Structure 1
Amino acid sequence: MTEIKFCENNFSFGTEEIMNRLKKDFNDIDISAESCLGYCGDCAVGPYALVNNEMIQADTAEELYEKIKKLI
C-alpha cells in the first residue's frame, strides 16, 4: 500500500488542499499529516510530501499533486 505523509508546517504552500484532494481521489492510500517530518530546510522553501518515505518536491502545490499521482 502506498503511504503519503505531509508536514503540517508545509501547509502554507497549499499542501493541505493537495492532501485532502488525494484522500478524495484515492481511497486505497494511507495519507496522513504529521506535526514535523524532519525536513525543515526543504519544508521552508516549497511544497513537498513523503511518498513511501521518498521525498517528492515541487515548485507549486498543483505540480506536487501531479508528481504524486504519477507515482501512485
Structure 2
Amino acid sequence: MRVTINVGFCVKNLAKGTEQVRQQLVKDPDLEVMEYGCTSNCGICRKYHVAVVEGKPVKADTPDQLLENINEYIDNVLIDQL
C-alpha cells in the first residue's frame, strides 16, 4: 500500500520565494502538494519560508533550507508514524 504525504503552501509564502520548493516537491509521486489561500500559520509565514506537512508547519530561513527541513521531517519523524 502506498502512503501519500500531504504538503501544503500558503500562496503568499509561495510568492516570497517558496515556489521553488513547491516545484521540487511536485515531482515526488509520494507527495500530494497543495496551495492554499492561507494555512493559518500567519505568524511564522510572515517571517519564514513555510510548508505544512501532514498538518505540522515546517519552517526555514531560506527556500533551500526549507526543502531540506521538509525532507528531514518526512524521513525522521513521519515515516515512523505512518
Specify which structure has the higher proportion of helix.
2
Match of 2:66 in 1: 64
Identify which of 14, 19, 42 aligns with 1:16.
19
Is contact 1:8–1:36 with CA below 8 Å preserved after alignment?
yes
SS in structure 1 of the partner of residue 7 of structure 2: strand
Deviation at 1:7, TM superposition (A): 0.4
CA RMSD of aligned residues (A): 1.1
TM-score (norm 2): 0.79
2:7 pairs with 1:4: yes
Deviation at 1:41, TM superposition (A): 1.5
Aligned length: 71
Higher relative contact order (CA 8 A, sep 6+): 1
CA-to-aligned-CA distance 1:29-69 (integer Å, 9 cap, x gap)? 11101111111111111101110101101111100001111
Find the structure with the greater CA-based Rg. Answer: 2
Deviation at 1:5, TM superposition (A): 0.3
Identify which of 18, 28, 33 aligns with 1:31.
33
Unpaired runs of 5+ residues, structure 2, are 75-82
